[in-house]
Structure 1
């Protein structure tokens, strides 16, 4: 009974794709007329699309048509998959060479769709064809149209002449062949397990699941928070193959790099503020040694020490963040901590002196300098 079910699913999928494609023939034809001069950057391509197509679906279809028609699959690079390359570099390379692999296809579609003002996300994962798991990772896109997240795989539709099979597909159908590393991008609840994907089994889905609410909350996170959330979800799932394991390692490496970069900025800020605090304190001491000559307004003298306080507050905050970091520190925070602590009594000593000097009479003020 399983075989007829598969035939039924395939027929439904083809019928679904064909039915939704009927309204896009005019879009496809119009998109092929884009001037060559406007096909040299994703910004110009998006501008042409916005000027010629009104609905969100038409604009996504126009972008999809341009990518799948103009970019040829690079067979020489089909086994080279680089998660770490800059998406902008992938876009530039594909535009210039007019060929690429899945990363280039998805990066191009994502970039054009975003420049049309629509929501999109590049997804990484692995795939299954004819019942067998592919040995190379894959990349595709999720796009938000008419209040629904749908999925596209421009790589698998590259060069189509009739009906694309992987354009704006419902997540419940797309999961038959595409498994994202991060379960959130299945856009299903509950998500299918890696084991179930391997076996080709399915399960009942929650029809009331609001994928947009979940995805929106995820996209509102900063980069580090997104990576940490993704790593947690992937870790909870079974890492059945090297692709999943490598992706998890890659995400953890990116998290460590972000934290390390933050630490570098924190360390640099502390050093800079430490130098400023020391300079400001020495400026006051030098002025005190000259017995506050030339004379300045009382407020101006007090500001000299107030500036030191300001710098020390910044130092304290950054040192706390640096000390609480989870990364392997390459910076000598302990030495900075010692310098910070040594400045505090020196500053207090000058504050006490200034307080005594301000409260003293004119005659007493002269004597205070010699005590």
Structure 2
């Protein structure tokens, strides 16, 4: 109980940050060190942590080297994810049994991680926490709900994902090493991991991170007014490409919208930092192919409003595409009246 109270105090007392806090920091040295030690053994974590951080001065550089090394050396084990998901679902109504199973299962996860260099999200988060801790960095594992175009959630869903929070310069930052490491391709012969490091989930903006990461403990959203879980699962699908330039979909708040013929709907996005968009379009699919539309847009400081009038009835899948990157998807049901 004492430890929990201390943690509550720490979370509430500290401020929260985002990647732009370190825009003056060049991560080339940290990334090059991670590359030098590619394939290094996991048998001795203190030695690995020391090698990755000994030549770096800033804590954020040390964390970057550890993060990059994990994301470029560990394979995502989709079959392990399916097995753990099945077990957690089975125990979802028995909290004590679930916590007990989690505690017993973690050593097995780590043994497989050390031996085969593959793991599910829990293993990624655990390894990041441990290597950071060995370099005197305060890193926490966050459990919750991840949401993508292929991960459908409802109000009865159980937690399906884990990620991390890291304390740097008395601020907390969010990151997701699992989703940074690459992608799972579901092929005819079974799932296959494709390694493809993605930088957008490193010290991500909390306002954007909450679009596809919902923690069990809402304090770890790191935002002052987090949405309810219901609002979270009702929101638009937000793609990882939104994270690299940091473009936050603002409105509408719900993915499924109802409109009448000839009604205009405004979609708005927020650009964080210095990024500016050269091209904004809507890709609309009515079931018979995609139709690219360059809509009317207006900008007010960091917020861009995208207007479109729906002149045809039916179901419209509306994809917001900025500089050829898919940012978010809405579904608009257009009725006659």
**Greater relative contact order (Cα < 8 A, sep 6+):** 2
Q: Structure 1-normalised TM-score?
A: 0.45
Larger Rg: 1
More strand by percentage = 2
More helix by percentage = 1
